[in-house]
Chain A
Amino acid sequence: MTKEQEYEDIPGTWVFDAQRARKGYHLNQFLYSLMKADNRKEFLADEPKYLSKYKITPEQREAVLKRDWNRLLHLGGVSYALAKLAFTDGKTYQYMASQMVGVTEGEYVAMMQSGGRSLEGWRSKRERGER
């Protein structure tokens, strides 16, 4: 293992680096398949069956079924691919982002309209006392 990367100190963020991309490869290929309308239909009709076609881990499978967005980021999903799942559910990107943040979609949109999230308090896990 290499030493821990500096970006792992950024709070509330999973940088999609080469190791995470490696772990998330099959997960992201599954998500990519949802670009096609026929695949979206097939997935929604029987999610576990559709997922069985992909070599994803049990943890990834469970997180997909639960729409556990942050867990999916942790397990190697990349946001642009995850968005295909949100769209398949008929949700917006901002809905998915609000779920990652832990607020309602309305609250998230309001935060953005008031200028977005300030960097203050969100710069470093160490500064936040998270480790």
Chain B
Amino acid sequence: MARIIAGVGTSHTPAIGAAIDNGRAGDNYWAPMFRGYEPSKEWMAKTKPDVVIMVYNDHVNAFDFKIIPTFALGCAEEFPIADEGWGARPVPIVKGYPELAAHMIQSLVLDEFDMTIVNEMQVDHGLTTPMSLLFGSPKEWPVRVIPLAVNVIQYPAPTGHRCYMLGKAIKRAVESWDEDLKVVIFGTGGMSHQIQGPRAGLVNKTFDTAFLDDLSRDPERLVKIPPIEYLRDAGNEAIELVMWLIMRGALGDRVEEVYRFYHVPASSTAVGHIILEAR
């Protein structure tokens, strides 16, 4: 049986990917942030998952405004890297797992989550930045990836509760796949940040710390945070944190926090990172 053995929460700020691609990861500005991910890369190299489910959001790259799916599951063989307006990132093409993705679609829809099926899709920094942070810069990614793109750009994003319940349904879907696979699920985006308007640059470390704490201690509190609280207290783009709740929901009731890192800033963002193992 396939099992979700761990969850990774991490910011996916595009400037992080750009710093890697432009050879600036060792700069004074960036070095402390990248050092924080060294233990995570070691953890990932030891854990060696077969499949990653990457919960992220597209930033007006794969999807324009013609169609805005709330939950879109990538079912393709592979996912090319998007040119977001400054050239595609020089990272390997992302290989999917269409058989498992197709199974997940059937399981999730019958479990009352009306997923959008995506058979062709480019992936942007929302997906590739976390890959680079946890897997480094290999010639080929050592894992197959099932992208799950969530609309967090046009208000309202799905609620934290809905995301958490989707995570639980993903766990049921994966566990009903009859193949021994180790799956790691990512929840990406956040943490506190606002990248628009006169209030741009907002950071709320208190909010972020409590969020990281309660992923293991009290996820039920996080699930009840209403959209307005993310927007107002942690910044307009902090609503991305609902994607971490999909990850959390997919881990089951008991988790152990095995690593945490927090750093301000990456561009306009408070970088948060956590690794949770299912127990």
Contact = CB atoms under 8 A, between A and B. Distances in A.
Contacts of A57: none
Grouping DSSP codes into helix (H, G, I), strand (E, B) and loop, the B interface class, with mixed when no group exceeds half, is: loop
A28 interface: yes
A32 B124 CA distance: 14
A117 B197 contact: no
B16 to A, nearest CB: 12
Given A16-B154, A18-B155, A81-B60, A119 B204 contact: yes
B93 interface: no
A117 B203 contact: yes
Interface residues of B, number: 41
Contact of B201 (A6, A14, A21, A101): A101
Interface in A39-94: 40, 70, 73, 78-84, 87-88, 93-94
Among B14, B196, B265, which residue has the most Cβ atoms of chain A within 10 A? B196
Interface residues of A, number: 50
A35 B195 contact: no
A56 to B, nearest CB: 13
Given A7-B232, A13-B231, A32-B65, A97 B155 contact: no
A104 interface: no
Interface of B: 14-15, 29, 59-61, 64-66, 83-86, 153-156, 192, 194-205, 227-228, 231-233, 236, 264-265, 267-268, 270
Interface of A: 6-7, 9-18, 21, 25, 28-29, 31-32, 34-35, 40, 70, 73, 78-84, 87-88, 93-94, 97, 100-102, 108, 111-113, 115-119, 122-124
